[in-house]
Structure 1
């Protein structure tokens, strides 16, 4: 479709207006611009209406996480960590809450502070109803404990989050902002279409003097940022400057950010204030989703410009599909999701989780016996688990891509032990070859040609001091291998396993050997694989895959073989640290 924007001159100022109709084709847009070239333009109507804008409610856990993401670029887990420290320092109230209520003490303190800072006209005491599905409201909203303290002595990130909470709390108890909204329509003689110009003037700032809530709308313009319109009267002639028709494409629904996902979980009634951050954190730690930036792809679009009486057409290029800080499902996440949907569809239903949360509330009120609730859920659930364990095949997300052009062997991609991979050889083939997918590749979109390229590795580059040097891609990315050593290739310096030269590989290997030599403190004749090294956290003993601590009071250079053996034994017998069990 084509969106048309016109710029008109009142004689004293320029007015930007958008055509009320979008055009489905370039030819339709061209016809309209041709008509504008010879048309006259007048202000057909102008309407001004008073309007108000209300402040947002004080923070709940969910809205704090969303706003800190928008305004401070904090992740959900970072927000909760900083809020926890502020709470422990006595700066804010409890940060896990679904309530928007403020105590009477807080309301009076807010009114006093607003009146003192901005004047009595800006103070307006109000209460808010929670919009959260199944809100328990066991705690007050998140607010400063001392509303007379507009700033605090703390770390930079603590100051920033406190400032956000402070301003939001005070703004929630301030008067509405008052605005005059104006809509002017500009006619095109001989055509039914009209251009529409919108503007507004803030007549009383109210809460906007202190705070404005952020938005997740990536394309939208906030109401308070619209331009003012110059004075115009109905019937006033307008001089056209330019009219531009720009091709626009439909967009897929936006991917979730951490903040917008929290908002959606709250809307669906899934989880509690205490679980939003941990839910998102676990998804990322288990590799089901990744949070990252992704570059868009160049896309051509058409632009028609009417200036004077001539329409000029040109092709421009834009970066389409660019994403910043979005959550993307991984191959493992997609496979796990498909498996669960196939075998546990009722549990993955959004309503199931919300209904269970609701039943927890009923149990908490003493209106439902928890044993009966668990029995009703657990018996069919266990039966489904047992049946799935017995009969379901291990999910791998396998996709057959085709056959090898030379051997005729089947080529497929699937999830393996170490993540997404390509495979040469089907189930009945004795000898199979495997290759890890590159960053950015997916088993959903991998082509046969891309899979074949993966098997061009490892590449033999040549020899260094009589020993073979190869380039390949492993679990942790591209590398070169020499004499049992693995040296990472540096993608940020242009290293590529498919094109890296022997000279570059030798350079990296020598740098690695030099770095390792600097880290080496001591080696023993009894066993050269046992070494005393300088590590990130200080000196330590390395024996194969086992690392042993060196007591602080002992000098690494003075360690004897016998003492090293004692420390290795202590390390072997030391209990492994596991997750704490909840009591």
Structure 2
């Protein structure tokens, strides 16, 4: 039957379509018109003449008069969701899980064919065949079939795939069968509750083809982008695995932020503040009058000050005016100017100028969307986006919350009424606004197809979930959703802001003190906050909440850098300077009157330093992507997960750091594909996909618009040489690769005139070239080098004469090139999980040499003087005159005593808290002095020793060992601290021994029970024992089945529930062996045999073959091995079969190209199969000693076996080598070095022409 392309999809001839439409007119909205199957390439081709989704007059199989008792089938994605819905619907329905997508685009060339009008070839997903078979069997017997997949683009696509595959298998008949056909019906619901499911069943619809087309357009875009760009990356940027349409933009966000941090130049500035004492107007009544607290109490109800309750109240006041002008923002750049103004304040008398009071209100934030839930969970719980969505999925499938992939902030009218009723019940009528609140989404490209995320019922507070068996992390997430949903329909917070200005006698100086307090908590009550600060930390929770959503809530009496301020929930801080803050400070300010003299003292010019922008966290990155219109709610979590899995980005604490490979990949894409990593372009593509979803744009037109320019650009870059790429990246990533330029930039400000007038003495230093661009070994330029396996690194351009290399992103000492710009700019020590201050007497700063804080290295002179290989830092000599160096090794930094040729040379690894830049001589000597005895154990009188091991410093006592924690210094650790560590080690050892003993007893007990069972059968209880044994086996089998299903469900859900971007990295199949080809050919001859016997017989048949008979199979294996090498190198497309189709001449040409590339790649990786590696000094020594040692061995151990002779010989040679004098050993070293140079010279000759590749 011929088909024609209508509305961007293959459909039957027009006459058949018109007749079908006249019989079954549309009854749904424009987004759900009759769904004609899209006839792309399937594993089984078929032709159809009309839509499988058109409604049918009969809901039974066969004759309309025939009835059936089989249950209706309802198909969902996950087994957890299926189980819950099955409980609601009972035996009249059979709910079956598909485990997500059953079909996907195979990871090989040709899955999307632009030459054939973007034909798409679908294949069953791994493991889906058996599931589809079970579904098809159930559907064949069912009177009705419902498709209840998720209510989004992915869910619609899963339903479409199911129908397509079920028709292929004959489980569903095409529409032309008329009355005998069961019509699959699509139902959707946004919460897994019984009323929602029943309402959906009462109003089914058809599969929305526009949503399916939008899904296919997205999959095709991701495939075309990734599968065409990835091979180019493999050739031009070894080590980069893939690029993606959304993934690459997210990576650019992280990389650009890191570049901004690197380019940032910190600038010192000074702000001025002073302490103002105001009268304590307190009559001790301990009550409120007119909203004013007359007696200040802390949260425990006690007076904070017992002595002199009438003492003045200290407030913090900041300088706001000098000689009629505001201070520069953010502060004075010249300390002398700031100090001069501080002196003027100290010598002046101040009085109250004005007191202002202003009341403000803050409205609650809207309910959660997917992105805001991920952001909140990241801030409050420290969770990543993937973990947040994992537990949100569980809550949704359990019917506890609504659908969790949404960008809408609206709530249904019925849900709003339920929330308002809950507010009155929990908090009272005063916390309920007069009218319901309605929200509109402000994020770009928001579809708002679903409700916001909320609880399905408000009769289920978070504390009721724990008794129901809900796991603790899910309860934590539910608490956030519950509070946010409840707060969205509560009254606004009312806050009173109070400010007082103080001026000196001539009105040339003006200070201001501000404070605020909550008049009415409003929606903050949903977070446990009350007007008096609440209980159980409610006040702190409210403060944290306000800090996030209302950045102006803090005052200069609460949070000020370099000022001793306490907890804003307490009237007085706990520091030595107890500034009043919060409500007490606001009340004290309201009591002031104009012209009243006040005491201003202790002025301070506080120094600060500007900080670079903070690194992204997962939450802030999701927010940035959403604001830019990049991605969709279902793509955020998998995109972040993929960036980390590809090792483009890593997490340290909560901060996202781009790896060097990620920075290089992002720069490459920005240089050569700027359009396609532009957030505006990706956002526009999302908008067009939305238009496809709405049925306003054809999906193939969208693909054509993208494919033409992109394909042309990929073709243009095919001739790009590796040298050109490296040169461009060297310039683009100069700071990352070679270090930051030395020099200061003046702080920029919008108030430039005021800055210039206050900071006339400011100047910038001369900008110098990056310090790390010259090779520290030979002085030649350094350059970026790329490796397939080892990742990017820095190497000398004088290679192979100079072999200097280092990791990208670190300096010659192994430190970060921009060490001053660490995560302290955006994260606390607790967030980083980092090391705290040392609790011992020897702090980290004690190890820092102030005169050598900035490393200066003359490694060339050091190499010449001491014969060192590689960079080193000379820090002094020990008492015997031996030099001590700090060096960077493959396993981290270490201190070295003596030269490389010194047979008494010693090394000691540095603790992780220390840097090669900062360790000084005394500390290095202490490390080299380890092991060190701290004293004897009080219980055993055996020594407790500090040692340095492979995994860092540790303490040992007899056979007990324990690593020294990060908080302790191995040099200054005391015996008491070591005993505490050993105590922990002993407890852990005891627990481990107890576990082993319990396991052994359980095994013995199980064995004795089994024997007892056998004896029991002999004694006449055989029937009972057999019944018990059978029951146990059945129970065990059932448990194993459930475990397998759960595991399968978990894997499937994690694979398909999110709209994961297919980055298009083709899969290269492993080469098959000659024996595998033999099995492929001979297996049909052994089909009738059992599995184990068949494999045994095949193995015997293979071993019986002689070399001649094996030739055909070995040839096939060799061809397949070549195929894998070609696919890995990108010379042929993976899975395309191109290699097998090539002629012998074509294969030889590609093999020649591959050999040339392997020579070059092998040299970059230190691998060369053509050249025999030169011998080492030890190998040369062993060769010289061989004949003599073997003769001695034959005389001494004539009766020993050959194995013993070999072992003894090697031991003796090793002993002689260790005892060999340094001068004799140096001879072998020199001979080996000559051989190595000759080896490298030969390899260098093989590199001719490599730059052109």
Q: CA deviation at 1:245?
A: 1.4
Structure 2 counterpart SS, 1:195: strand
Q: Which residue of 1 aligns with 2:905?
A: none
- Of 491, 498, 501 in structure 2, the residue corresponding to residue 175 of structure 1 is 491
- Tell whether 2:266 aligns with 1:266: no
CA distance in 2, matches of 1:194, 1:403: 54
Q: Which residue of 1 aligns with 2:785?
A: 414
Q: Which residue of 1 aligns with 2:403?
A: 94
How big is each residue's C-alpha offset from its partner over 1:104-129, in whole Å with a ceiling of 9 and x where there is no partner? 22111111111011101112321111
CA distance in 1, matches of 2:778, 2:600: 69
Query: Residues 56, 218 of structure 1: CA spacing in aligned structure 2 closer, same or farther, 3 A cutoff?
Result: closer
- Of 379, 388, 397 in structure 2, the residue corresponding to residue 70 of structure 1 is 379
Query: Residues 202, 431 of structure 1: CA spacing in aligned structure 2 closer, same or farther, 3 A cutoff?
Result: closer
Structure 2 counterpart SS, 1:387: helix
Q: Which residue of 2 aligns with 1:138?
A: 449
Q: Which residue of 1 aligns with 2:661?
A: 332
Q: Which residue of 2 aligns with 1:358?
A: 687
How big is each residue's C-alpha offset from its partner over 1:159-217, in whole Å with a ceiling of 9 and x where there is no partner? 11111110010011100111221121111222433111111232211111223546569
Q: Which residue of 1 aligns with 2:677?
A: 348
Q: CA deviation at 1:348?
A: 1.4
Structure 1 counterpart SS, 2:609: coil
How big is each residue's C-alpha offset from its partner over 1:468-515, in whole Å with a ceiling of 9 and x where there is no partner? xxx9955x8799xxxxxxxxx987689999998999799889x9xx9x
Q: CA deviation at 1:393?
A: 2.7
Contact preservation (8 Å) 1:77, 1:277:
yes
Query: Residues 335, 506 of structure 1: CA spacing in aligned structure 2 closer, same or farther, 3 A cutoff?
Result: closer
- Of 158, 163, 168 in structure 1, the residue corresponding to residue 479 of structure 2 is 163
Contact preservation (8 Å) 1:58, 1:143:
yes
Contact preservation (8 Å) 1:6, 1:242:
yes
> Which residues in structure 2 correspond to 1:360-509 (within 5 Å)?
360-393=689-722, 395=725, 397-398=729-730, 411-417=782-788, 418-426=790-798, 429=800, 432=803, 434=805, 436=807, 441=814, 456=870, 474=890
Q: Which residue of 2 aligns with 1:279?
A: 639
Q: CA deviation at 1:411?
A: 4.5
Structure 2 counterpart SS, 1:284: helix
- Of 579, 582, 587 in structure 2, the residue corresponding to residue 227 of structure 1 is 582
Question: What TM-score, normalized to structure 2?
Answer: 0.34
Query: Residues 219, 27 of structure 1: CA spacing in aligned structure 2 closer, same or farther, 3 A cutoff?
Result: farther
Contact preservation (8 Å) 1:331, 1:415:
no
- Of 93, 103, 113 in structure 1, the residue corresponding to residue 412 of structure 2 is 103
CA distance in 1, matches of 2:353, 2:273: 17
How big is each residue's C-alpha offset from its partner over 1:505-539, in whole Å with a ceiling of 9 and x where there is no partner? 99889x9xx9xxxxxxxxxxxxxxxxxxxxxxxxx
Query: Residues 430, 357 of structure 1: CA spacing in aligned structure 2 closer, same or farther, 3 A cutoff?
Result: same
Q: Which residue of 1 aligns with 2:613?
A: 253
- Of 6, 9, 12 in structure 1, the residue corresponding to residue 277 of structure 2 is 9
- Structure 1 unaligned spans of 5+: 294-324, 459-470, 480-488, 515-561, 570-583
> In angstroms, what is the RMSD of aligned CA positions?
4.1
Contact preservation (8 Å) 1:2, 1:245:
yes
How big is each residue's C-alpha offset from its partner over 1:124-154, in whole Å with a ceiling of 9 and x where there is no partner? 3211111111110111101111211112122
Q: Which residue of 1 aligns with 2:425?
A: 116
CA distance in 2, matches of 1:109, 1:38: 63
Q: Which residue of 1 aligns with 2:526?
A: 210
Contact preservation (8 Å) 1:420, 1:443:
no
Query: Residues 122, 87 of structure 1: CA spacing in aligned structure 2 closer, same or farther, 3 A cutoff?
Result: same
CA distance in 1, matches of 2:809, 2:390: 34
Query: Residues 404, 120 of structure 1: CA spacing in aligned structure 2 closer, same or farther, 3 A cutoff?
Result: closer
CA distance in 1, matches of 2:815, 2:362: 46
CA distance in 2, matches of 1:18, 1:451: 51
How big is each residue's C-alpha offset from its partner over 1:388-430, in whole Å with a ceiling of 9 and x where there is no partner? 1332537454568566677676654434331243434536x47
Q: Which residue of 1 aligns with 2:1123?
A: none
How big is each residue's C-alpha offset from its partner over 1:287-320, in whole Å with a ceiling of 9 and x where there is no partner? 2222215xxxxxxxxxxxxxxxxxxxxxxxxxxx
Structure 1 counterpart SS, 2:722: coil
Question: What TM-score, normalized to structure 1?
Answer: 0.70
- Tell whether 2:318 aligns with 1:18: yes
Contact preservation (8 Å) 1:110, 1:173:
yes
How big is each residue's C-alpha offset from its partner over 1:261-286, in whole Å with a ceiling of 9 and x where there is no partner? 11111111111111111222222222
Q: State which structure, 1 or 2, has the greater radius of gyration over its C-alpha atoms.
A: 2
Contact preservation (8 Å) 2:782, 2:797:
yes
Structure 1 counterpart SS, 2:442: coil
Structure 2 counterpart SS, 1:138: coil
Query: Residues 93, 38 of structure 1: CA spacing in aligned structure 2 closer, same or farther, 3 A cutoff?
Result: same
Query: Residues 345, 405 of structure 1: CA spacing in aligned structure 2 closer, same or farther, 3 A cutoff?
Result: closer
Bigger shift: 215-224 or 112-121?
215-224
Query: Residues 42, 501 of structure 1: CA spacing in aligned structure 2 closer, same or farther, 3 A cutoff?
Result: closer
Contact preservation (8 Å) 2:615, 2:657:
yes
CA distance in 1, matches of 2:627, 2:929: 55
Query: Residues 410, 32 of structure 1: CA spacing in aligned structure 2 closer, same or farther, 3 A cutoff?
Result: closer
Contact preservation (8 Å) 1:68, 1:161:
yes
Query: Residues 506, 116 of structure 1: CA spacing in aligned structure 2 closer, same or farther, 3 A cutoff?
Result: closer
Contact preservation (8 Å) 1:178, 1:206:
yes
Structure 2 counterpart SS, 1:243: strand
Query: Residues 84, 392 of structure 1: CA spacing in aligned structure 2 closer, same or farther, 3 A cutoff?
Result: farther
- Structure 2 unaligned spans of 5+: 1-268, 281-312, 321-326, 528-541, 559-567, 569-580, 731-736, 739-771, 820-854, 873-886, 895-907, 917-923, 932-946, 960-1094, 1103-1253
Q: Which residue of 1 aligns with 2:1192?
A: none
Q: Which residue of 1 aligns with 2:500?
A: 184
Q: CA deviation at 1:253?
A: 2.1
Bigger shift: 29-38 or 86-95?
29-38
CA distance in 2, matches of 1:113, 1:218: 26
Query: Residues 410, 34 of structure 1: CA spacing in aligned structure 2 closer, same or farther, 3 A cutoff?
Result: closer
Structure 1 counterpart SS, 2:274: strand
Query: Residues 254, 403 of structure 1: CA spacing in aligned structure 2 closer, same or farther, 3 A cutoff?
Result: closer
Bigger shift: 449-458 or 352-361?
449-458
CA distance in 2, matches of 1:82, 1:172: 22
Question: Of Structure 1 and Structure 2, which has the larger fraction of its residues in helix?
Answer: 2
Contact preservation (8 Å) 2:516, 2:553:
no
> Which residues in structure 2 correspond to 1:508-527 (within 5 Å)?
none
CA distance in 1, matches of 2:914, 2:504: 59
- Tell whether 2:390 aligns with 1:81: yes
